[in-house]
Amino acid sequence: MSTRDGSVGRRMQWAAGTAAVLALGTGTAAAHAVWESTAALPTQGVSSGSLALSTQWVGGATALPPLYPEQSSDTATLRVTETAASGTTLRWRLRVEVSVTGAGSEYVRTEVFVGACGGPAPLAAGSAYEPAGGLLPGQSVDLCVRTTLSAEAPSAQQGTSLTPSVSVVAEQVGI
C-alpha cells in the first residue's frame, strides 16, 4: 500500500536522477568546451592555380579550299590544350567563337565540331563543350570548323578573300 512518505521518497529519487542526468550532460558539454589540442602541421606551400590554353593546327594546313555556293570547306584539326592547371582540381569547359570578315562574309556560315567535321552534331552557337564532370587539367580537345557558302551568294562575290578567326575560351566550372 502506498503512503505519503513513499510518494515523497519516489519524487526525491526522480529528482536525484534528473539532477544526475543534467549534471552529466552539462559536464560533458563543459568537457567539449574545455578539451583542446593543437598540433603544428608541416609547412606546405599553398598557391592559387592557373588556367591557360594553347592552340595548334594539326598538320599545319591553315588555308581553306575555296568556297562555292552551297558547298563547304573544313579546316584542319585545331587542337586546344589546357597547359597550366596540371595537378589541380580545376575543371573547365570550352567555348569556341568563330567569325568571318571580308566581302561576301555575310553569305558564309560556320559550324564548330568537336572531333572531325561532319561528326556528331556541331556545337550550338554560343554553347560550350563540357563533358560530364568538366574537362580535366592538361586535357586536349580537337576541333574542326566547317565553313559553308550560301546558295544565295551572288556571282559577283567570286574570287573575294575572307578572313576567318577562331578564338577558344576556357571557363572554369564546378564552383
Partner 1 sequence: MKTPRPTFVAALALIVVGSLSGPSSASAAWQVRVSASSITASIGTLAAPSLRCETLASNPPAARITWDPVPGATSYRVELSNTVNGPRRELATQTTTGIDVGGALLTTLVSFLLNSLLAGGTVFVTVTATSESWTATSTPQRIGLAGTLLDGLSGGIRCR
Amino acid at 64: L
**Which residues, numbered 25-84, are part of the site for partner 1 (CB under 8 A)?**
51-55, 57, 62-71, 73, 75, 78, 80
Q: Tell which residue, 98, 36, 139, has the closest CA to residue 130.
A: 139
Least Cβ distance, residue 159 to partner 1 (angstroms): 5
Per-residue contact string for residues 135-164; x = within reach of partner 1 by CB under 8 A: ------------x-x-xxxxx-xxxxxxxx
- x/- mask, partner 1, residues 112-131, rule CB under 8 A, reads --------------------
Choosing from 15, 59, 104, 119, the residue that interacts with partner 1 (CB under 8 A) is 104
Note whether 74 and 58 are within 8 A (CB).
no
Least CB distance to partner 1 at residue 44 (A): 23
94 interacts with partner 1 by CB under 8 A: no
DSSP letters spanning 80-136: EEE-S-TTS--EEEEEEEEEEESTTGGGEEEEEEESSTTSSPPPPTT-EE--TT-BP
Q: Does the footprint of partner 1 cover residue 165 (CB under 8 A)?
A: yes
Helix (H) or strand (E) holding 144: strand 140-149
